[in-house]
Amino acid sequence: MIETLFFDALRSAVGPTAASYALLAVGLNLHFGYTGLLNFGQVGFMLVGAYGMAITVSVFGGPLWLGVIVGVLAAVVLSLLLGAPTLRLRADYLAITTIAAGEILRFLVRNTGSDALTGSVFGLRQFAGDFYALSPFPPGDYLGPLRFNANRLWVTLVGWGLVTLLSLLVWALMRSPWGRVLRSIREDEDAARSLGKNVFLFKMQSLILGGVIGAIGGMVFVLALQNLTPEMFLPQVTFFAFAIMILGGTGTVLGPTLGAVVFWFLLTGLQSGIRSVVDSGAIPGVAGGQAVGAVSLIAVGLLLMVLMIRRPQGVLGNREELRLDVS
Partner 1 sequence: MVSSSVPSCSVRSTRTAISTVVPTLAAALLASVAVALALALSLGASPASAQDAATTEESIGGRLAFEGEAVAGVTIVVASTDGSATFETVTDADGAWLVVLPGPGTYRVELQVATLPEGIGLRDPERSSLELRVFENSTSAAIFALGEPQEVESDLLRRILQGTLNGLKFGLIIGMTSIGLSLIFGTTGLVNFAHGDLVTVGAFLAFLLNVTLGLHLLIAAPLAVIGGAVIAGALDRGIWRPLRARQTGLIAMLVVSIGLAFVLRHVVLLFLGGSRQSYMDFTLQSALDIGLVRVQPVELWVMGLSVAMLVAVGLMLTRTRLGKSMRAVADNRDLAASSGIDVQRVILSVWVLGGALTAVGGVFLGMIESVDYLMGFRLLLLMFAGVILGGLGSAYGAMLGGLVVGLVSEVSTVWFSSQIKYVWALGVLILILLFRPQGLLGRRERFG
State the Cα–Cα distance between residues 174 and 168, nearest whole angstrom. Answer: 10
State the Cα–Cα distance between residues 314 and 243, nearest whole angstrom. Answer: 10
State the Cα–Cα distance between residues 35 and 48, nearest whole angstrom. Answer: 22
62 binds partner 1 (CB under 8 A): no
* Interface mask toward partner 1 for 151-170; x: CB under 8 A: --------------------
86 binds partner 1 (CB under 8 A): yes
Left, alpha or beta for 280 (phi > 0: left; psi -120 to 50: alpha)?
alpha
Stretch binding partner 1 (CB under 8 A), from 101-109, 126-134, 164-172, 274-282: 101-109
Nearest C-alpha neighbor of 108 from the set 58, 74, 73, 80: 74
Q: Which ranges of the chain does DSSP label H, i.e. alpha helix?
A: 2-13, 16-28, 42-54, 64-86, 91-110, 115-118, 129-133, 150-175, 177-187, 189-194, 199-225, 236-248, 255-279, 288-310
* Interface mask toward partner 1 for 196-235; x: CB under 8 A: ---------------------------------xxxx--x
Give the dihedral of Cα atoms 68, 72, 74, 78; nearest 10 deg.
Answer: 160
Stretch binding partner 1 (CB under 8 A), from 15-23, 86-94, 195-203, 215-223: 86-94
301 binds partner 1 (CB under 8 A): yes
Give the nearer residue to partner 1 in terms of CB position, either 162 or 186: 186
Orientation of helix 255-279 relative to helix 2-13, angle to 10°: 140
State the Cα–Cα distance between residues 56 and 254, nearest whole angstrom. Answer: 33
Q: Please give the residues from 9 up to 38 whose contact with partner 1 meets the rule CB under 8 A.
A: 36, 38
Q: How many CA atoms lie within 13 A of 313 on its CB side?
A: 9
Per CB under 8 A, the list member of 149, 195, 294, 319 interacting with partner 1 is: 294
CB atoms within 10 A of CB 114: 15
Per CB under 8 A, the list member of 4, 176, 198, 236 interacting with partner 1 is: 236
Give the nearer residue to partner 1 in terms of CB position, either 80 or 168: 80
CB atoms within 10 A of CB 6: 14
Give the nearer residue to partner 1 in terms of CB position, either 223 or 243: 243
Q: How many residues does the chain have?
A: 327
Per CB under 8 A, the list member of 110, 152, 203, 275 interacting with partner 1 is: 110
95 binds partner 1 (CB under 8 A): yes
> Minimum Å distance from CB 207 to partner 1?
15
> Minimum Å distance from CB 150 to partner 1?
24
User: Could you list the residues that contact partner 1 (CB under 8 A)?
Assistant: 36, 38, 40, 84-86, 89-93, 95-97, 99-101, 103-104, 107-108, 110-113, 121-123, 229-232, 235-236, 239, 242, 246, 287, 290-291, 293-295, 297-298, 300-306, 308-309, 312, 323-326
